[in-house]
Amino acid sequence: MARTRQQNVTAAQWTSNGAALGAADLTAPGSYPFGEDVFSLDAQRKRLPKDVFKRLQATLHRGEALDPSLADAVANAMREWAMEKGATHFTHWFQPLTGSTAEKHDSFYAPTSEGTAIAEFSGKELIQGEPDASSFPTGGVRATFEARGYTAWDPTSPAFILENPNGALLCIPTAFASWTGEALDHKIPLLRSMDALSKAALRALRLLGDSESARVFTTVGPEQEYFLIDEQYYFERPDLYTTGRTLFGTKPPKGHELDDHYFGSIPERILAFMLESERELARLGVPTKTRHNEVAPNQYEIAPIFENSNVGSDHQQLTMQVMQNVARRYGLVCLLHEKPFAGVNGSGKHNNWSMGTDTGLNLLEPGDTPHENISFLFFCSAVLAAVNRHQALLRASVANIGQDHRLGANEAPPAIISIFLGAELLKIFNTIEKGEGDPATPGSFLGLGTPVLPPLPMHGGDRNRTSPFAFTGNKFEFRALGSSMSLALPNTVLNTIVAEAIDMLCDKLEARGSNGTSSHDAIVEIVRETYSANKQICFDGDNYTDAWHQEAEQRGLTNLRTTPDALPWLVEKQTIAAFERYEVLSERELESRFEVSVEQYSTKLNIEAETAASIARTMLLPAAVRHLGELRAGGHEGLIGETAGLVDQFVSAIQKLEEANAHHPAEEGLEHAKWMRDNVIPAMDATREVADRLERIVADDLWPLPKYSEMLFIK
């Protein structure tokens, strides 16, 4: 909108905003404050009585429940530490099924009878809290059980301090459960799935001859994509601030055809935002590592060093929160929506995933001895089996309404889940399948002419960016996550299905009579069988082509284009069987997740549709009508017809959209979601189509919405 469009926030404004908000001196030499705001191992060692510290660590190491007698001592030390850092309040920080984080603040201070206040924080308050669970979505769990729930301290994810210009807050990562024991959050199942995988992997390691490892951790390293736009445009667009994406807007004359943004130099204001975000994340113990421009204009990426799944998932939630807060200090808004701009690349979140032992071994790293190689192939084939069996569930684990603009449309990656192994690893599996070479003779590892597998390229992923699930040298990269998503559910699914596959492979090994260390031959045989049975999931070609879509269909791979298509897999028989077997989620808990996701889909779609109708009717239509009035007043006969025709089309499209919004069939649930998908989305698309044509002809000073070129190219 031309009135204010030129008043871009100046550099002076954003730096002074940053300072006003109490940012530390970011340029002081040698001051990298890593972990400063975390009640870290180091802080615990310094502040806890020696025996308390030892007992706490021992409990955590064994993955056991906390002895309540420790809690008071820990709470006391934590409160003292937090108050020295300026904290006045604490909160149990948890992750309800909405996918975001929740907090309810309580003061440390309690009034005394003498009219003053003393600071208190008991072990009980540390361990357990009671937010009002009835306001959080709980799906079926709420219907059957009491709405009340409680939060419980997760001592494996360290407490941290969130700072605000006017105070500070101690945040205690917690799980959220109902009094009847159902998980009401995303953390509990993630922790359970990590346990499940550890048990299965240890069982396999024993069969493979490893008697040392005592625990296997799953690891995650997310690559987060996001857009930054000037906040002025954001606040001028009700669609952006209500739904997170633009519901209208025609393509800019310049797109990313020029490819000049990717890895280009980072503009000063953007870099200032990144430096402050990273500094703040460092204080919170989030190990950010990489930053760069992404493919689309004004799109960027941030990636940390990987951590165990639980901590990595918490840190990812913090990363999104911190980026959104810091952006505002620079007059920017950080957009985490999967598809903020039609016709421009959307944002995803690559989920690098692996398994590692407490002795420091990465189970998905080929290693450099024949023995390490065979163990690697064993775990790798377990992943193939898991992904093949549960491909639809993996797709469901990344389904949300924003994702439907990416996965189901012609954008990276497709809704068909397949695995990219890379030419080298594919060749190895194929050789094993054909049974060439002599596995037992070190001189020719499976006939490859070398004693060990050739080193596999670590950057395999870069050679096929179209694959949704790629092996990248020492980990798998699940690329189908959306930029706004929590890591918890997809990783819970991955851990659980791989645990199941590992156990299936172990069963086969044991059935071959090898109860102690299995023979090399027996393991190779299992790898061969597993690859043979699951190789349909492997695809190294271009995932975007129609040819692949046809081939995938012939192979029998699922192609679940939209969220309502995918979500039922959360409650499929084989999903329930796997999740119940590993006690990760009960049928009831799975159903509650299914219901909440369906409801979120319909609710968000409804908000989009209402917003679109309102913008069209009260902002865009009046602009078009005024434009038409000016043409008529000026007697521009040749132009009147074109505009008048579009205005008529627009009015009728708006009416149809309003009609669709008003007349939902009454029921809720999946059928309702599907009805919305099939009726409301086309009505929105039709309205947008006319609006975008009007945008191209209506006078710029009359058009009330900032345009794509402004949002995407002003930095």
* Span near ligand ADP by CB under 6 A; candidates 180-188, 299-307, 603-611, 643-651: 299-307
Minimum distance of Mg ion from residue 419's CB (angstroms): 15
Number of CB atoms found within 10 A of residue 24's CB: 15
> Shortest approach of ligand ADP to residue 210 CB, angstroms?
18
Contact code string over 222-241 relative to ligand ADP, x by CB under 6 A: -x------------------
Q: Which partner in Mg ion, ligand ADP, none is near 416 (CB below 5 to 8 A by kind)?
A: none
Looking at residues 327 to 366 of the shown chain, list those that interact with ligand ADP (rule: CB under 6 A). 352-354, 362
Nearer to ligand ADP, 502 or 631 (CB): 502
Residue written as token pair 């069982």: 203
Q: Which CB, 240 or 407, lies closer to Mg ion?
A: 407
Smallest separation (angstroms) from Mg ion to the CB of 289 = 12
Binding mask 439-468 for ligand ADP (x = CB under 6 A): -------------------xx-x-------
Q: What's the rounded Cα separation, in Å, for the pair 543 and 464?
A: 9
85-90 long-range Cβ contacts below 8 angstroms, 24+ apart: 85/37, 85/161, 85/168, 86/161, 86/163, 86/167, 86/168, 87/161, 87/167, 87/168, 87/169, 87/170, 88/167, 88/168, 88/169, 89/167, 89/169, 89/170, 90/121, 90/125, 90/169, 90/170, 90/171, 90/172
- Which residues, 6+ apart, have CB-to-CB distance to 309 below 8 Å? 190, 193, 194, 217, 218, 219, 220, 487, 491, 495
Q: Which residue, 191 or 355, has its beta carbon nearer to ligand ADP?
A: 355
- Closest approach, Cβ 476 to Mg ion, in A, equals 11
Which listed option, Mg ion, ligand ADP, none, makes contact with residue 304 (CB within 5 to 8 Å by class)? Answer: ligand ADP
| Residue closest to Mg ion when measured from CB atoms | 461
Other C-beta atoms lying within 10 Å of the C-beta of residue 164: 11
Find out whether 137 and 600 touch, Cβ atoms under 8 Å: yes
Interstrand relation of 167-178 and 160-164 (parallel, antiparallel or unpaired): antiparallel
Q: Site mask, ligand ADP, residues 526-565, x = CB under 6 A?
A: ----------------------------------------
Binding partner selected for residue 296 from Mg ion, ligand ADP, none, CB under the kind-specific 5 to 8 Å limit:
none
Nearer to ligand ADP, 76 or 319 (CB): 319
Kindly state the smallest distance separating residue 459's Cβ from ligand ADP, in Å.
4
Partner whose footprint covers residue 376, from Mg ion, ligand ADP, none (CB < 5 to 8 Å by kind): none
Q: CA of 269: how far to CAs of 254, 262, 277, 714, in Å?
A: 22, 17, 12, 11
Smallest CA-to-CA distance from 119 within 94, 153, 82 is with 82
Q: Which is nearer to ligand ADP, 297 or 304 (CB)?
A: 304
Q: Which does 305 bind (CB under 5 to 8 A by kind): Mg ion, ligand ADP, none?
A: ligand ADP
Report angle CA 359, 382, 391 to the nearest 5 degrees: 125
Site residues (CB under 6 A) for ligand ADP, limited to 472-511: 472, 474-475
**Short-list 336, 340, 332, CA closest to 269:** 332
Is beta strand 87-93 parallel, antiparallel or unpaired with respect to 167-178?
A: parallel
Closest separation in Å from C-beta 45 to ligand ADP = 26
**Cβ nearer to Mg ion, comparing 37 with 477:** 477
Q: How far is the CB of 459 from Mg ion (least distance, A)?
A: 8
**Minimum distance from CB of 486 to ligand ADP (Å)?**
16
Report how far residue 315's alpha carbon sits from residue 467's, in angstroms, rounded to the nearest whole number: 26
Which C-beta is closer to ligand ADP: that of 477 or that of 503?
477
Q: How many angstroms separate the CA atoms of 112 and 56, rounded?
A: 32
Q: Please identify the residue of the shown chain whose CB is closest to the bound ligand ADP.
A: 221
CB 289 to ligand ADP: min, Å = 7
Q: Whole-number minimum distance, CB 523 to ligand ADP, in Å?
A: 22
Q: What are phi and psi of 107, to 5 degrees?
A: -75, 145
Mark the segment that binds ligand ADP (CB under 6 A) among 269-277, 301-309, 339-347, 522-530.
301-309
Coil, helix or strand for 352?
strand
Write down the least CB distance from residue 302 to ligand ADP, Å.
10
Q: Does 35 bind ligand ADP (CB under 6 A)?
A: no
Binding to ligand ADP by CB under 6 A, coded x per residue (else -) over 184-223, reads -----------------------------------xxx-x
CB of 417 to Mg ion, least distance (A): 17
The vertex-693 CA angle with 688 and 699, nearest 5°, equals: 120
Choice between 171 and 398, CB closer to ligand ADP: 398
Q: C-alpha angle 18/24/28, rounded to 5°?
A: 115
Q: Which residue, 67 or 462, is less far from Mg ion as judged by CB?
A: 462
Residue 218 or 298 with smaller CB distance to ligand ADP:
218
Structure tokens at 203: 């069982």
Taking CB within 5 to 8 Å according to partner kind, which of Mg ion, ligand ADP, none is near residue 218?
none
Please choose, from the candidates 186, 29, 16, the residue with its C-alpha nearest in 3D space to the C-alpha of residue 100.
186
366 or 461, CB closer to Mg ion? Answer: 461
Name the residue type at position 113. S
Is the CB of 223 or the CB of 565 nearer to Mg ion? 223
Whose tokens are 């627009």? That residue is 650
- Size of residue set near ligand ADP by CB under 6 A: 18
- Binding flag, residue 306, ligand ADP (CB under 6 A): yes
How far is residue 361's CA from residue 367's CA, in Å, rounded to a whole number?
A: 9
Nearer to ligand ADP, 177 or 398 (CB): 398
**Considering beta carbons, is residue 91 or 219 the nearer one to ligand ADP?**
219
In the complex with ligand ADP, the residue whose CB is nearer, 481 or 552, is 481
Q: How far is the CB of 15 from ligand ADP (least distance, A)?
A: 30
Site string for Mg ion, 439-468 (x = CB under 5 A): ----------------------x-------
606 binds, among Mg ion, ligand ADP, none (CB under 5 to 8 A by kind): none
Amino acid at 440: A
Nearer to ligand ADP, 291 or 512 (CB): 291
N residues, the chain: 715
Q: Which does 500 bind (CB under 5 to 8 A by kind): Mg ion, ligand ADP, none?
A: none
Say how far apart CA 587 and CA 575 lie, in whole Å: 9
Please select the residue that binds ligand ADP; options are 240, 303, 387, 399, rule is CB under 6 A.
Answer: 303
Range 583-589 contact pairs with CB under 8 angstroms and sequence separation of 24 or more: 583/192, 583/196, 584/189, 584/192, 584/193, 584/196, 584/492, 584/495, 584/496, 585/183, 585/189, 585/192, 585/492, 586/182, 588/140, 588/141, 588/144, 588/182, 589/141, 589/182, 589/183, 589/189
For the CB of residue 471, give the shortest distance to ligand ADP in the complex, in Å: 11
157, 197, 198, 590, 606 from 495: Cα distances, Å: 18, 6, 9, 16, 34
User: Where do the DSSP E strands lie in 577-646?
Assistant: none
Of 398, 400, 364, 393, give the one whose Cα is nearest residue 579: 393
In three state form, how does the secondary structure of 163-232 look? EECCEEEEEEEEEEEECCCCECECHHHHHHHHHHHHHHHHHHHHHCCCCCCCCEEEEEEEEEEEEEEEHH
Name the binder of 354 from ligand ADP, Mg ion, none, CB < 5-8 A by kind.
ligand ADP
* SS3 at position 546: helix
Which chain residues interact with Mg ion by CB under 5 A? 461
Q: Which residues bind ligand ADP (CB under 6 A)?
A: 219-221, 223, 303-306, 352-354, 362, 458-459, 461, 472, 474-475
